[in-house]
């Protein structure tokens, strides 16, 4: 019974936080670009803006193009959002505050998060729009090639903490966070962050929904509630990535003076702001350069990091 | 080695552009929240129009000499002339703001300085007919602050050198 | 692929008939309504996967028949109309038109007017290059990312220049500042101080962009060796301005054929070596720095006196040009802006040909883009900096 | 090599004496238009500025401006064509000629044979009539906007 309440709490919490993350991003991006950001709805800080967005997306007519393949078109958003929400089931929010304490936590997270790729390609192929198909191809290319460095670099904490269970990894880090291991920690963290950002289609890798070339990528035919799903999935994916980064490398809720929960929130907030900051200051790079970066740079780097982790463990 | 140099080049330039972006985070935003904070306008603002009346005698300055009607490139001014005792009056004077290109030729050409541009620029309308300002609208627009550029001032500014080159305004 | 739930779906949709999907080439239509085609341009692309095989631009969506219109207006009435041609660099359009008529009528322009013309056209060049830099960031970086940050900065700087123009003429974009024989407005009191202030701010801002862009690895990766333009092809296509200078041809009308007092100003002409998008970008950013110098010299040495050699215009047909033909040109931010005027002695031009730089620059697009990726089309198109008011006239 | 020398060379080779003002202006017969263009290109005038036409009621004057940027030499090469006539295209000599000649065809109706794909550039493909001809009617007196 408590698991049910806990899971509903997590779901509501995630949706609420994601809604206000959109506001955070727009205010932060505004300040970065020396403008104010949304403030008209909910006067001083625009805190009602996410509610306005949600209502707008709910009320908007949900258009299904006549040419589209209806089954794939309707199922795609579901297949994109659900895996990301499943990831939150495994994440430990506190000492033993976790919905499902799987002892194969990391494997579960990596497996689930690659299902979004199927959803994205279904959306692209289902909407039968040339732009969407082109962007669907790109999404497949990019996400598969970044799956490999992501998996290998997230193996490093598993090796160091000798367990795939996320709570054990966090427990192991009470003495020193993995990121502070001499060369090993920083390299693994960088590879993990870069490939996680590529996984979540964020600048400078947001080639799939590149406005300047492909209008809106695979989301071009979606509107109304289905578009809200994609929107929600993107931010939830970013949130999941920052949670993962914090747990695997920055020692979860470990932290000297403050209570556990505050430390976790603070670290996730910092990682999230880092992703935003990178997003609003870099220019997008081309698809072939993205693939080259993944195979020629990140993949060998992650192998090296794995080797270092092995040596570190043996020694 | 080239790989290390290239990696260093990447991190340096990524850090540099993120630094530039961060610098702006600390600066005050340049946008203002419009309806509550209005931008102050320079005194030569060219927005919509007003027909002036002579302060002492209280009658309109416009003597319907049709000069502005002829010079207007997009021919948006049209008026009906009537002769009252010794002076011409514009019985009707319509200026189609929708077609006007705000080139200020009419203000420059008006010998009586009757038409002037005013500092009201929030004059968008929902219905196009309201954009056709008739004489009454133009006379009511007098309550707004007129722009500094009235006909005679522009003509005096453009007077060619041979006409007794009087000292222009003190150089900035 | 029959679709029971939607019987009409498998009937071939009219939209699909004209799609030739033979083999692996895909005919895609980057239509007039596209977020980053700098206006209304349609490109018919034949793609092979990501690779562009053939790109055929289709223009004419913004054709307003300027040349036919000009044949029915008098010379004075055309000047405000001409602002609408290259709507990002307005004052240079007026200057080109007025210089053509002054050359035909052999009218002398007072020095103060010439200096004011140089001042405004150089400020306009900076503003136009800022718009180019901002939209180039958008083309490369997308509307939700680093590109927008650059766009916002460029437009924040451009606002300061537009405020200057608003003080001088009263309008922000369509100034109607030049007239035949000189300019129409004296600068207000204290105008020089504000110009110097703006110059300092601009200088700081432009160096900030240089850090953010010029030796930025991510920007270089997207623009290096892309859309290489050889000088021979550039000359034979009639490209000019930053596009020509990017390929190493040192030709700038302000230096080679000075007009309106440009010979009295000291500045140099930046040129690129390879002619790829990066060189064209570097040339434009360096040009902004040069224009700052010219504006500073113009405001320092602003001579006294009247600003127009002809009395103020009161009647539409006040200007009559003698019979004859003339071709005069100036260096607009996009290149050589020429006015070919044939007049039959009346107050209306007999034939007015508006030689737009963006028209020739854009005709280079098919040769430059062939063989590149889809993403490079935007990089090349952005580096050519076309403005469609001018291309379609 | 200055404008005068070029004009002299053209005189003794083709027999036209060009009026040397800011540019060398030549009015040539239609069949000499193409050879002269090839001659000028051989002389080093490789910059193709623009091509346009002027409707002189009974005939249309086609003008092309070709330049050499370094030596500041420019030539206005013009020839007379009756409305709807044919002229040899310069598209294979100069890349810029392609679009310029399409525009002249679009607005004046001069046919260019040897042009890669001569179709309308500014007006819609299926537009009837050539707008910039003098006798092209302005259907109602000029009212831009009502």
Residue D8 buriedness (CB in 10 A; 0-12 / 13-18 / 19+): middle
Residue A285 with chain C: CB contacts under 8 Å: 218, 221-222
Residue C118 confidence (pLDDT): 92
Please give the pLDDT value at position C95: 92
- B98–D143 CB contact, under 8 Å: no
Q: What mean pLDDT is predicted for residues C319-333?
A: 89
Q: Classify residue C93 by burial, with Cβ atoms within 10 Å: 0-12, 13-18, 19+.
A: buried
Opening angle at CA C361, ends D69 and C171, nearest 5: 100
Question: Domain for residue D123, yes or no?
Answer: no
Average pLDDT for residues C352-375, to the nearest whole number? 88
Question: d(Cα C161, Cα C320) in Å, to the nearest integer?
Answer: 35
Residues A5 and A140 in one domain: no
Provide the domain count of chain A: 2
User: Beta-carbon neighbour count of residue C175 at 10 Å?
Assistant: 26
CA distance D40 to D47: 10
| Percent of chain C predicted with pLDDT > 90 | 20
Of the listed ranges A266-275, C24-33, D12-21, the one predicted with least confidence:
C24-33
Query: Is the torsion defined by CA of B15, B16, B19, B21 positive or negative?
Result: negative
How many domains is chain D built from?
1
Assigned domain for D60 exists: yes
Mean pLDDT, residues C158-183: 89
Q: Does residue D74 form part of some domain?
A: yes
Asked if residue D118 is part of any domain, the answer here is no
Q: What is the pLDDT of residues D39-51, one digit of tens each?
A: 888 888 889 989 9
Residues in chain C within 8 Å Cβ distance of B17: 146, 211-213, 216, 218
The DSSP result for C138-183, as a single string, is HHHH-TTSHHHHHHHHHHHHHHHHHHHHHHHHS-SS----EETTEE
Whether A268 and A286 share a structural domain: yes
Q: Is the pLDDT of residue A60 over 90?
A: no
Angle (nearest 5°) at CA C259 between C256 and C264: 85
- Percent of chain B past pLDDT 70, that is, above it, reads 93
Verify whether the Cβ–Cβ distance B29 to A36 is below 8 Å: yes
The shortest C-alpha distance from A18 to chain B (Å) reads: 23
In terms of average pLDDT, the best of C197-201, D13-17, D127-131 is C197-201
Residue C107: pLDDT above 90? no
Question: What pLDDT sits at residue C304?
Answer: 87
Q: How far is CA C332 from the centre of its chain?
A: 7
Residue positions counted in chain B: 172
Provide the pLDDT confidence category of residue C7 given band limits of 50, 70 and 90: very low
pLDDT-wise least confident of A23-32, A248-257, C316-325, D55-64: A248-257
For chains A and C, CB pairs below 8 A equal: 119
pLDDT above 50 (res B164): no
Interface-testing mutation among B69, B73, B74, B78, with chain D (most D C-beta atoms within 10 A): B74
- Chain C CB contacts of B14 under 8 Å are 217-218
Token pair of C235 as six digits: 């000359």
Note the pLDDT tens digit of each residue in A243-297: 888 888 887 777 777 777 888 888 889 988 888 888 887 777 888 888 888 888 8
Structural domain containing residue A10: 1-59
In a mutational test of the C interface, the residue from A283, A286, A288 whose CB has the highest number of chain C CBs within 10 Å is A283
- How many Å apart are CA C184 and CA B159, to the nearest integer? 10
Q: What's the pLDDT at C202?
A: 92
DSSP secondary-structure letter at C89?
S
Q: Dump the DSSP string for C213-248.
A: HTT-HHHHHHHTTSS---HHHHHHHT--THHHHHTT
Domains delineated in chain C? 66-392 (1.10.645.10)
Asked if the structure places residue D35 within a domain, the reply is yes
CB atoms B21 and A31 under 8 Å = no
Confidence at C193, pLDDT banded by 50, 70, 90: very high
Contacts of C174 in chain B (CB under 8 A): 101-103
Residue D119 lies in a domain: no
Mean pLDDT of A52-78: 85
Give percent above pLDDT 70 in chain A. 95
Q: What is the pLDDT of residue A203?
A: 63
Beta-bridged to residue C58, according to DSSP, are C42
d(C-alpha C278, C-alpha C216), whole Å: 11
What six digits make up the tokens of C180?
A: 């035949």
- pLDDT level of residue C119 (50, 70, 90 thresholds): very high
Residues 6+ apart with CB under 8 A from C321: C75, C101, C104, C105, C341, C343, C345, C349
- Residue A208: the pLDDT is 67
Residue D140 pLDDT level (bands cut at 50, 70, 90): low
C144 pLDDT band, cuts 50/70/90, is low
| Residue D143 belongs to a domain | no
Range of the domain at D13: 3-113
Please check whether residues A85 and A42 belong to one and the same domain.
no
| Domain assignment of residue D122, yes or no | no
Does A159 share its domain with A21? no
- When pLDDT is averaged across residues A48-58 and rounded to a whole number, the result is 85
Q: Kindly provide the b/e burial profile for residues C345-382, where b requires at least 16 CB atoms within 10 angstroms of the residue's own CB.
A: eebbbbbbbbbbbbbbbbbbbbebbeebbbbbbbbbbb
Q: Chain B: nearest CA to D145, how far in angstroms? A: 6
Q: Do A202 and A54 reside in the same domain of the chain?
A: no
Encode pLDDT of A172-206 as tens digits.
887 777 777 778 888 888 888 888 888 877 666 66
pLDDT cut 90: percent of chain B above it: 0
Closest residue to A282, CB basis, from C6, C34, C146: C146
Out of A30, A34, A39, whose CB is closest to B27? A34
- Answer yes or no: do A89 and A154 share one domain: yes
Give the pLDDT confidence score for residue C100 in this predicted structure: 92
Q: Is the pLDDT of residue D82 over 50?
A: yes
Q: Please indicate, yes or no, whether residues A50 and A70 belong to a single structural domain of this protein.
A: no
The CA distance from C25 to the nearest CA of chain A, in Å, is 12
Quick one: average pLDDT of C290-301?
A: 91
Q: Are C280 and C243 in contact (CB under 8 A)?
A: yes
pLDDT reading at C289 higher than 80: yes
Comparing B162-171, C69-78, C323-332, the range with the smallest average pLDDT is: B162-171
Among B23, B29, B33, which would you mutate to test the A interface (most chain A Cβ atoms within 10 Å of its Cβ)?
B29
In the numeric block, the tokens 């020398």 are attached to D5
pLDDT tens for residues C194-203?
A: 999 999 999 9
pLDDT band at residue C225 under the 50/70/90 scheme: confident
The CATH number that applies at residue D52 is 3.30.460.80
Residues A210, A203 contacting (CB under 8 angstroms): no
Using the 3D structure, point to which of A38, A59, A80 is the last residue of a domain: A59
Instruction: Decide which of A41, A59, A77 is a domain's last residue.
Output: A59
In chain D, what percentage of residues exceed pLDDT 90?
Answer: 3
Query: Which residue is closest to C72 within chain D, CA to CA?
Result: D142
The answer to whether residue C269 scores a pLDDT higher than 60 is yes
Alpha helices in B27-158 (DSSP H): 67-71, 105-109, 128-131, 135-140, 151-157
Confidence (pLDDT) at C292: 92
Contact D3, D28 (CB under 8 A): no
Instruction: Pick the residue from chain C with its C-alpha nearest to D100.
Output: C360
**Structure confidence by residue, pLDDT tens digits, B18-67:** 888 888 888 887 787 777 788 888 888 888 888 888 888 888 888 888 88
């Amino acid at each position: 019974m408590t698991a049910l309440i806990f899971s509903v709490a997590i779901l509501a919490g995630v949706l609420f936080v994601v809604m206000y993350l959109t506001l955070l991003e727009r205010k932060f991006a505004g300040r970065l670009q020396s403008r104010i950001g949304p403030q008209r709805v909910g006067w001083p800080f625009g805190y009602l803006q996410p509610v306005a967005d949600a209502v707008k997306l709910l009320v908007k007519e949900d258009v299904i193009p006549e040419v589209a393949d209806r089954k794939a078109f309707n199922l795609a958003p579901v297949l994109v959002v659900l895996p990301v929400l499943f990831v939150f089931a495994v994440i430990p929010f506190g000492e033993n505050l976790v919905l499902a304490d799987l002892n194969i936590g990391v494997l579960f997270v990596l497996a689930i998060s690659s299902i979004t790729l199927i959803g994205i390609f279904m959306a692209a192929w289902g909407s039968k729009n040339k732009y969407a198909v082109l962007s669907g191809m790109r999404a497949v290319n990019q996400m598969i090639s970044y799956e490999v460095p992501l998996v290998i670099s997230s193996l490093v904490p598993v090796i160091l903490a000798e367990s795939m269970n996320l709570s054990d990894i966090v427990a192991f880090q009470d003495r020193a966070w993995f990121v502070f291991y001499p060369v090993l920690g920083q390299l693994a963290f960088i590879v993990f962050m870069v490939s996680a950002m590529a996984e979540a289609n964020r600048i400078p890798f947001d080639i799939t929904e590149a406005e300047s070339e492909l209008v809106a990528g695979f989301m071009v035919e979606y509107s109304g509630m289905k578009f809200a799903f994609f929107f929600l999935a993107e931010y939830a994916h970013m949130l999941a990535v920052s949670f993962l980064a914090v747990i695997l490398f920055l020692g979860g809720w470990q932290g000297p003076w403050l209570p556990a929960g505050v430390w976790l929130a603070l670290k996730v907030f910092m990682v999230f702001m880092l992703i935003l900051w990178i997003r609003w200051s870099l220019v997008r790079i081309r698809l072939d350069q993205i693939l080259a970066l993944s195979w020629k740079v990140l993949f060998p780097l992650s192998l090296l990091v794995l080797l270092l982790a092995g040596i570190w463990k043996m020694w | 080695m080239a790989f290390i140099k290239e990696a260093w080049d990447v991190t340096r330039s990524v850090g540099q552009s993120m630094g530039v972006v961060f610098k702006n985070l600390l600066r005050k935003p340049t946008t203002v929240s419009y309806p509550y904070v209005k931008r102050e306008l320079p005194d030569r603002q060219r927005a919509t129009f007003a027909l002036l009346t002579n302060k002492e005698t209280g009658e309109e300055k416009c003597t319907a000499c049709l000069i502005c009607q002829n010079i207007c490139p997009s021919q948006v001014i049209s008026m009906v002339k009537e002769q009252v005792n010794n002076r011409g009056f514009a019985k009707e004077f319509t200026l189609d703001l929708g077609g006007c290109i705000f080139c200020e030729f009419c203000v420059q050409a008006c010998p009586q300085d009757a038409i002037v541009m005013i500092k009201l620029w929030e004059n968008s309308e929902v219905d196009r007919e309201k954009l056709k300002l008739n004489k009454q609208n133009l006379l009511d627009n007098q309550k707004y602050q007129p722009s500094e550029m009235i006909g005679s001032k522009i003509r005096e500014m453009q007077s060619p050198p041979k006409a007794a080159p009087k000292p222009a305004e003190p150089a900035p | 692929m029959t679709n029971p739930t939607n019987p009409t779906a498998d009937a071939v949709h009219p939209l699909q008939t004209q799609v030739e999907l033979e083999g692996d080439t895909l005919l895609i239509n980057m239509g007039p309504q596209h977020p980053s085609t700098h206006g209304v341009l349609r490109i018919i692309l034949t793609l092979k996967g990501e690779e562009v095989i053939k790109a055929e631009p289709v223009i004419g969506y913004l054709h307003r028949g300027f040349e036919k219109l000009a044949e029915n207006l008098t010379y004075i009435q055309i000047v405000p109309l001409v602002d609408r041609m290259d709507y990002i660099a307005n004052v240079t359009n007026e200057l080109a038109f007025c210089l053509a008529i002054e050359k035909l009528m052999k009218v002398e322009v007072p020095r103060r007017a010439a200096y004011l013309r140089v001042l405004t056209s150089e400020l306009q060049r900076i503003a136009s290059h800022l718009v180019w830099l901002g939209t180039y960031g958008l083309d490369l970086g997308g509307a939700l990312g680093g590109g927008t940050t650059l766009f916002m900065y460029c437009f924040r700087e451009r606002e300061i220049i537009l405020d200057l123009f608003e003080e001088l003429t009263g309008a922000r974009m369509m100034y109607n500042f030049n007239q035949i024989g000189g300019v129409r407005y004296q600068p207000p009191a204290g105008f020089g101080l504000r110009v110097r202030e703006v110059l300092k701010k601009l200088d700081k801002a432009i160096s900030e962009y240089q850090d953010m862009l010029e030796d930025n690895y991510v920007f270089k990766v997207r623009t290096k060796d892309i859309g290489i333009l050889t000088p021979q092809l550039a000359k034979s296509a009639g490209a000019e301005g930053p596009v020509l200078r990017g390929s190493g041809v040192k030709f700038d009308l302000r230096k080679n054929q000075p007009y309106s007092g440009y010979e009295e100003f000291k500045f140099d002409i930046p040129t690129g070596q390879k002619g790829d998008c990066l060189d064209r970008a570097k040339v434009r950013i360096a040009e902004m720095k040069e224009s700052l110098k010219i504006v500073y010299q113009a405001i320092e040495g602003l001579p006294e006196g009247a600003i127009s050699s002809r009395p103020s215009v009161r009647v539409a047909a006040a200007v009559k040009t003698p019979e004859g033909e003339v071709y005069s040109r100036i260096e607009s931010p996009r290149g050589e802006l020429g006015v070919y005027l044939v007049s039959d002695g009346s107050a209306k031009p007999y034939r007015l040909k508006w030689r737009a730089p963006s028209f020739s620059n854009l005709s280079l697009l098919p040769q430059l883009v062939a063989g590149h990726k889809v993403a490079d089309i935007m990089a090349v198109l952005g580096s050519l900096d076309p403005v469609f008011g001018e291309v379609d006239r | 090599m200055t404008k005068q020398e070029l004009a002299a060379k053209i005189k003794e080779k083709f027999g036209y004496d060009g009026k040397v003002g800011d540019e060398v202006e030549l009015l040539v017969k239609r069949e000499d238009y193409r050879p002269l263009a090839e001659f000028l290109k051989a002389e080093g005038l490789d910059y193709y500025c623009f091509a346009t036409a002027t409707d002189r009621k009974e005939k249309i004057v086609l003008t092309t401006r070709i330049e050499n940027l370094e030596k500041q030499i420019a030539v206005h090469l013009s020839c007379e064509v009756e409305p709807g006539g044919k002229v040899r295209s310069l598209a294979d000599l100069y890349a810029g000629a392609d679009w310029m000649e399409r525009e002249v065809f679009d607005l004046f109706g001069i046919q260019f044979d040897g042009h890669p794909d001569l179709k309308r550039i500014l007006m819609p493909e299926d537009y009837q009539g050539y707008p910039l001809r003098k006798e092209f009617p302005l259907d109602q007196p000029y009212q831009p906007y009502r």
